[in-house]
A and B are shown apart, each in its own frame.
Chain A
């Protein structure tokens, strides 16, 4: 039998439980065999310290390096924000939780940077699509997953919080597309002195540009 899952035919072994019980002579003997497993684990945890539980939060678990935790915005070698505000992440995001406002970068080679970059962590479903979509490896994920906060507003992370927050890389970064390439750089407040991102060039409100144009032409 080949049941169809999501459009693909897959081979799933079919288990007939009553057939199996008859074959294995499910009797008192098998019941005792089962208890022996329980007892073995009891003694192992009592005397060998072989326990699967840990003393959270004093102890924490080591997550895989593909763990998809809260995001990190990475930086260039000089410590400036790597993101170029291309909106690829905001476009792909199925939860629509990334909010970006772009601005003109003083360096025309870079052209564009986010003057605002917010992720609503309560809305995020930690799918990691944003990380895959980013052409710059400017957004990666961490192995952090603690989301305790005193209010809703605190769960919306802005640039500063996405770039540098306490313990951001204590366990190393989480999911990122190119693990073979040079490690994505994470902003380090102590070591780096360069301005993390350009202070926003003073912007004229569009209406002001418009008014000055009218005045000139009248």
Chain B
């Protein structure tokens, strides 16, 4: 392994890497605009200059491969001066309209101006070049040419990642600008990522634009629930779930404002598909189910669960559960326990499609995040999925059921699924439906229970490849909704079936699951961490 000296410290580094990559791994800060680990190297912004012993000029660290016995300095007076000049050029014609710029607060120009530049502008204020502001590149992305620093990250994204080449640099020299061809809007399935890669406020997200200033947001590291790929994302939501002030006037309620890609080289690099990026809107698509309802007199959830448990017991064994592949492993595990294995989750073709790609980047055909997890728990048994359960219910082989339904976060649930669910509820003698929204087909259920949905509960999903990843609670569930694992834990406690008597903590449930299910042996929330745990081949 080559040895490389950075700022008088000797490190060992892997061959073939560039200086900036080595510095990133070591936590040495080098400013950069055009370098992004997932889109190819350009070397145009000149922010990452470093001094290399023996080289007459400063070298761009993003484009300089390391060599044995290389001596690099990142903090000399010469480097600092060069970076200051680079910043001065970048800001020469910059409008600096930060108060109305949506990037303000997470803008790399602001950050690097404060940390490495801090110069006084030598350019007259009125003499700045004006360019086109705020126009649509596509349905999701708006461009402000004045704020662009021509780092070409967006260009390289459409060239190297999506291979669609919508965004280009037009004209030359001082007249260069980012744009699209007249008849080719930026309308690919991954267009939102260019907003994430743009280091400044030139590209903004039409969906998120002006909704909130970013410094009011809090990020929670989570996983997309849109399909079986399980892309890592950060959910940005208002920081105060319950705040001071007059509700609706001055307090900000717990609300998801946007999601952005979170880097995980093994799953999604830094990307998200547009449907997944916007899938949090699904939670506001229909009215939420706020309180328990149904044919049984509504009472407190605890008493209700007692009644449910007693009714299930009186049906002596003719009971079953139907989970959802958008429920967490923890919830499905407890459900399987309560119904002693008589649980299914297949609504239509999840098992056949969960590994099939929809395109060659991220998306998969199965629009559920946890199909693999449900299969690993052994829920694809001989109950025959939703169709089979419906037939059994119509033949009165099954008389009581708990149906947990979480709508698909991306796209629509197929109409035949809704039809089967309606028929199932009608055929059952006693049906408990725990769901997130008010659905018309569920009206005739004996008991309707509000259930926390994606981004409102903590738990694990297992993605198509068997990688176990954590989805974390970002906002409070609406109304009196509770996560399914909490409802199931209460039922189990009432039945005396398990030693589940403490509070239903997802991590404790996972530990119990790891002890029983071979696919998860040896795992816990700590080893899963932010990036998930790779499948354990030995256990499979």
Contacts and interface: CB of A to CB of B under 8 A. Distances in A.
Given A118-B249, A120-B246, A120-B249, A84 B99 contact: yes
15 contacts: A96-B244, A96-B250, A99-B249, A99-B250, A102-B211, A103-B210, A108-B134, A156-B249, A207-B281, A207-B285, A210-B275, A210-B278, A214-B410, A217-B189, A218-B411
B243 A96 contact: yes
A88 B275 CA distance: 32
Given A98-B250, A135-B99, A213 B210 contact: no
B135 interface: yes
Interface in B409-437: 410-411
Interface string A197-218: 0000000001101111110011
Contacts of A207: 281-282, 284-285
Interface in A75-89: 84-88
A104 B144 CA distance: 14
B139 A209 contact: yes
A208 B410 CA distance: 13
Q: Name the residue among A96, A103, A120 with the largest chain B CB count within 10 angstroms.
A: A96
A91 B239 CA distance: 13
B538 interface: no
A209 B207 contact: yes
B263 interface: no
A88 B98 CA distance: 11
Interface in B48-88: none
Interface string A88-110: 10010000111100111000111
B213 interface: yes
A135 B97 CA distance: 10
A213 B281 contact: no
A63 interface: no
Nearest to A87: B213
Contacts of A91: 213, 215-216
B203 to A, nearest CB: 15
A135 B189 CA distance: 39
Contacts of A161: none
Given A87-B213, A206-B207, A206-B281, A214 B100 contact: no
A104 B210 contact: yes
A120 B281 contact: no
Contacts of A209: 139-140, 206-207, 278
B245 interface: yes
Contacts of A206: 207, 278, 281
A82 to B, nearest CB: 12
B139 A214 contact: no
A102 to B, nearest CB: 4
A61 to B, nearest CB: 31
Interface in B235-278: 243-246, 249-251, 274-275, 278
Interface residues of B, number: 35
Given A91-B215, A109-B133, A123-B250, 7 more contacts: A86-B99, A99-B249, A120-B246, A206-B281, A210-B279, A210-B281, A210-B282
Interface of A: prevailing SS: mixed
A185 interface: no
Interface string B368-411: 00000000000000000000000000000000000000000011
Contacts of A111: 97, 100, 133-134
B472 interface: no
Nearest to B277: A210
Given A85-B210, A214-B411, A108 B281 contact: no
A86 B99 CA distance: 5
Interface of A: 84-88, 91, 96-99, 102-104, 108-112, 118, 120, 123, 135-136, 156, 206-207, 209-214, 217-218
B105 to A, nearest CB: 10
Given A108-B133, A108-B134, A213 B249 contact: no
Contacts of B36: none
A214 B213 contact: no
A84 B97 CA distance: 11
Which 9 residue pairs across A and B have the least CB separation, nearest first?
A86-B99, A102-B210, A108-B134, A108-B133, A210-B278, A207-B281, A112-B100, A87-B213, A111-B100
Nearest to A102: B210
Contacts of A214: 275, 410-411
Contact of A213 (B100, B213, B278): B278
Nearest to B273: A217
B342 interface: no
A89 to B, nearest CB: 11
Contacts of B97: 111
B443 interface: no
A34 to B, nearest CB: 50
Contacts of B94: none
Nearest to B97: A111
A217 B359 CA distance: 12
Contacts of A211: 285
Contacts of A112: 100, 210
A213 B243 contact: no
Contacts of A120: 245-246, 249-250
Contact of A156 (B210, B213, B216, B246): B246
A135 B100 CA distance: 11
Nearest to B358: A217
B209 interface: yes
Contact of A108 (B135, B246, B278, B410): B135
Interface in B128-145: 132-135, 139-140
A96 B207 contact: no
A85 B100 CA distance: 7
Q: Name the residue among B97, B132, B251, B282 with the largest chain A CB count within 10 angstroms.
A: B97
A206 B140 CA distance: 11
A110 B101 CA distance: 11
A52 B132 CA distance: 62
Contacts of B411: 214, 218
A213 B133 contact: no
A19 B105 CA distance: 61
Contacts of A87: 213, 216
Q: Name the residue among A85, A86, A91, A109 with the largest chain B CB count within 10 angstroms.
A: A86
Contacts of B99: 84, 86, 88, 135-136
Contacts of A109: 133
B125 to A, nearest CB: 14
A155 B414 CA distance: 50
Contacts of B281: 206-207, 210
A213 B139 contact: yes
